[in-house]
Amino acid sequence: MLLLIISIIVAAFLPFLPFIYLPIFSLIILCLYIKLDFKISTIKIVIALLLIIFVYFTSLGHKQQVDYLFKVVQHQQGEYLLKVTENNGHYYTLNIISSNNRKTKDSILFFTQQELPINTILLYKGDIRRFNQYKNPGSFSPYNIYRWRNYGYITENSGNIAIIQFGDKARDREINSLINKRLEGLAQEVVPLAKGVLLGQRRELTTEQVINLNQAGLLHITAVSGLHVGIIYLIVHTILKNLFSKKMSLIIAFTTAFAFTGIVGFKPSTLRAIIMLGIYSFAQIQGYPYSLKRALEITALVNILYYPLVVLDPGFQFSYLAVWGIAYIAPKLTFLDKIPNSYISSILKITIAVQVAIFPLNYYYNKGIPLLTPMANLLVAPILPLYLGNLIFYTLFPWRIIAIPLEIISYYILNVSEITGYWLHISEIMLIFILFLLLCGFTIYKLKNYKFKCLVVILLSAILLIVIFQQPTVKIHFLDVGQGDCALIQYRGYNILVDTGGIMGANIGKNVLLPTFNYLGVKKIDYLFITHPHYDHMGALEEIVDYIKINNILIPDNREMYTTTFLNVLERILEKGISMQKLKRGDSLILGNITKQVLHPPENYYPSQSVLNNISLVTLLDYKGVKVLFTGDIEGEGESILLDQLVPVDILKVAHHGSNTSTGELFLSISTPKYAIISVGPNRYGHPSNEVLQRLLDRNIIYYTTQRDGMITVKIKRNGQYRIATYGR
Domain for residue 469, yes or no?
Answer: no
Residue 64's pLDDT is 42
Backbone angles phi, psi at 84, to 5 degrees: -75, 120
pLDDT band at 141 (very low <50, low <70, confident <90, very high): low
Which candidate, 715, 520, 494, 498, places its Cα nearest to that of 624? 715
Of 117, 139, 171, which one is at a domain's C-terminal end?
Answer: 171
> Rounded CA gap, 253 and 277, in Å?
10
| Band of pLDDT at residue 63, cut at 50, 70 and 90 | very low
- Sorting pLDDT into bands at 50, 70 and 90, what band is 51? low
How does residue 173 score in pLDDT terms, banded at 50, 70 and 90?
very low
The answer as to whether 462 is a domain residue is: no
What is the reported pLDDT for 57?
46
Give the pLDDT confidence of 662-719 residue by residue, as tens digits. 999 999 999 999 999 999 998 878 899 999 999 999 999 999 999 999 999 999 998 8
For residue 656, give the DSSP letter: G
Q: Tell which phi-psi region holds residue 65, choosing left (phi > 0), alpha (psi between -120 and 50) or beta.
A: alpha
Read off φ and ψ for residue 279, nearest 5 degrees. -65, -45
Q: Is the pLDDT of residue 2 over 70?
A: no
Q: What is the pLDDT of residues 427-441, one digit of tens each?
A: 666 777 777 777 777
Cα(475)–Cα(482) distance, integer angstroms: 21
Looking at residue 519, its pLDDT comes to 76
What are the residues facing 725 on neighbouring strands? 713
Looking at the whole model, is its pTM more than 0.85? no
| Backbone phi and psi for residue 621, each to the nearest 5 degrees, phi listed first | -95, 130
What is Dmax (Cα atoms) for the chain? 90
Cross-strand partners of 81? 98, 123
Selected residue with higher pLDDT from 659 and 444: 659
Q: Which amino acid is at 601?
A: P
pLDDT at 19: 42
| Element of type H or E holding 569 | helix 564-575
Residue type, 47: I
Rounded Cα distance between 454 and 460, Å, is 10
Contact assessment for residue 628 and residue 649, using Cβ atoms and an 8 Å cutoff: yes
User: Does 145 fall in a domain?
Assistant: yes
| pLDDT attached to residue 610 | 56
How confident is the model at residue 10, as a pLDDT? 47
* SS3 state at 481: coil
Residue 479: inside a domain, yes or no? yes
Least confident of 9-13, 28-32, 357-361, 703-707: 9-13
Least-confidence region, from 29-43, 344-358, 530-544, 625-639: 29-43
pLDDT at 581 over 90: yes
Torsion of CA 412, 188, 511, 198, to 10 degrees: 70
Range with lowest mean pLDDT among 311-315, 413-417, 600-604, 699-703: 311-315
Dihedrals φ, ψ of 85, to 5°? -115, -20
Please say if the pLDDT value at position 349 is more than 70. Answer: yes
Angstrom distance (rounded) from CA 185 to CA 28: 50
Question: How crowded is residue 563: how many other Cβ atoms within 10 Å of its Cβ?
Answer: 14
Among 71, 96, 117, the domain boundary falls at 71
Contacts with 329 (C-beta within 8 Å, 6 or more apart), sequence order: 352, 353, 356, 357
- pLDDT tens-place string over residues 292-303: 888 888 888 888
Same domain, 690 and 704: yes
393 phi/psi in degrees, rounded to 5: -65, -35
Task: Give the ranges where 114-224 is alpha helix by DSSP (H).
Answer: 142-146, 169-174, 176-183, 191-199, 207-215
| Cα–Cα dist 572/649, whole Å | 37
**Count of structural domains, the chain:** 5
Average pLDDT of the residues in 150-173? 70
CB 246 within 8 A of CB 254: no
Residue 143's pLDDT band, with cuts at 50, 70 and 90, is low
Among 589, 597, 606, residue whose Cα is nearest residue 647: 597
β partners of residue 588:
597
Question: Of 89-103, 225-239, 495-509, which range is least confident?
Answer: 89-103
CA distances from 479 to 158, 406, 484 (A): 24, 45, 9
Question: 687 with 592: CB under 8 angstroms?
Answer: no
Q: Is residue 84 part of a domain?
A: yes
Q: Which residues pair with 724 in a beta bridge?
A: 714
Q: Cβ atoms within 10 A of the Cβ of 101, count?
A: 7
Residue 65 — very low, low, confident or very high, per pLDDT cuts 50/70/90?
very low
Domain end residue (candidates: 130, 154, 171): 171
Q: Are 202 and 254 part of one and the same domain?
A: yes
- Kindly tell me if the per-residue pLDDT of 469 is higher than 70: no
Same domain, 448 and 394: no
Residue 271 phi, psi (nearest 5): -65, -40
CA distance 504 to 154: 10
Residue 579 makes CB contacts below 8 A (sequence gap 6+) with 551, 552, 553
Among 478, 482, 465, 450, residue whose Cα is nearest residue 131: 482
For residue 17, is pLDDT > 60? no
703 in Cβ contact with 693 (< 8 Å): yes
Q: 62-71 burial string, b = 16+ CB within 10 Å, else e?
A: bbeebeebbe
Same domain, 539 and 446: no
CA 117 – CA 190 distance, rounded (Å):
24
Q: What CATH number has the domain bearing residue 611?
A: 3.60.15.10
CA 381-385-386 angle, 5° bins: 110
108 and 189 both lie in a single domain: no
Q: What is the pLDDT of residue 688?
A: 95
Same domain, 418 and 430: no
Same domain, 578 and 690: yes
Query: For a pLDDT cut of 90, what percent of the chain falls above it?
Result: 28
Same domain, 184 and 57: no
pLDDT digits (tens, 9 = 90+) for 100-111: 767 666 778 887
From CA 97, how far away is CA 338, in angstroms rounded?
61
Asked which of 51-55, 319-323, 347-351, 565-569 is least confident by mean pLDDT, the reply is 51-55
What is the residue-averaged pLDDT of the chain? 80
pLDDT attached to residue 504: 77
pLDDT of residue 15: 43
Whether 393 is in a domain gets the answer yes
* Nearest CA-CA partner of 501 in 679, 621, 305, 339: 679
Q: Residue 1 pLDDT more than 70?
A: no
By the 8 A CB rule, do 152 and 131 touch? yes
Contact 221, 227 (CB under 8 A): yes
Dump pLDDT digits (tens) for 253-262: 999 998 888 7
The per-residue pLDDT for 699 is 96
Cα–Cα distance list, 111 to 91, 154, 682 (Å): 4, 7, 19
Q: Are residues 580 and 638 in the same domain?
A: yes
Residue 277 lies in a domain: yes
Query: Is residue 31 domain-shared with residue 120, that is, in the same domain?
Result: no
Among left, alpha and beta (phi > 0; psi -120 to 50; other), residue 468 is alpha
First to last CA, the chain: 32
Range of the domain at 32: 2-71
78 with 57, same domain: the answer is: no
Is residue 464 domain-resident? no
Looking at the structure, do residues 160 and 188 belong to the same domain, yes or no? no
Higher pLDDT, 57 or 304: 304
- What distance in Å separates the CA atoms of residue 250 and residue 272, rounded to the nearest whole number? 18
537 three-class SS:
helix
**pLDDT (0 to 100) of residue 43:** 46
Whole-Å CA distances, 208 to 92, 334, 456 = 24, 38, 49
DSSP 8-state code for residue 129: B
Quick check: 519 and 475 in contact, CB under 8 A? no
